[in-house]
Amino acid sequence: MKIPESMDECIYFTNRTLPKGKVSAWARRKECPKCHKAKMGKPVVKGKVKSRAEIYVCPHCSFTEDKVLHEESLMLEAMYTCPLCGKQGESSAPYVRKKFQGILSYVVDCQHCAGKIPLTKRLKDTAVPDSDD
């Protein structure tokens, strides 16, 4: 797994420090399924990206895809130090928010202990269970 070199390659990127670990996670931009010549992105209007757009557009052939369908087809990749077992690892998961302890989160599974590592929105807090229990 390779960390993206620039934010232009990603739809989502985060670096998080957890109480007993850390996570870097990203979802890469997808190649256009129609022309395979460019990466899909949000529409650009008057030189600015329309951030709340409900579609993704190919800049080469103008192929459009609904935001929900497009984002469900992406994968979230993560490099982490697990807060449960303390080991470093890499994992991937679908780029879909799921409920974790009642909070919508991207959930990555540890490849060593199979523990769940939640990536919540910035100010949300979850109580990650301790491995000492």
Q: What is the pTM of this model?
A: 0.80
118 and 78, same structural domain?
yes
DSSP secondary structure letter of residue 2: -
24 close to 18: Cβ distance less than 8 angstroms: no
Q: What is the mean pLDDT of the chain?
A: 86
Whether residue 24 is found in the same domain as residue 78 = yes
* Percent of the chain surpassing pLDDT 70: 91
Q: How far apart are CA 46 and CA 40, in angstroms?
A: 18
pLDDT, tens only, 14-35: 998 888 889 999 999 999 988 9
CA-angle at 106, arms to 105 and 108, nearest 5°: 125
- For 46-72, how does the pLDDT look when each residue is reduced to its tens digit (9 = 90+)? 888 888 889 999 988 989 999 999 988
Claim to verify: residue 40 and residue 98 sit in the same structural domain: no
Same domain (yes/no): 108, 44: no
Q: Give the residue numbers spanning the domain of 98.
A: 8-28+74-128
One domain for residues 58 and 112: no
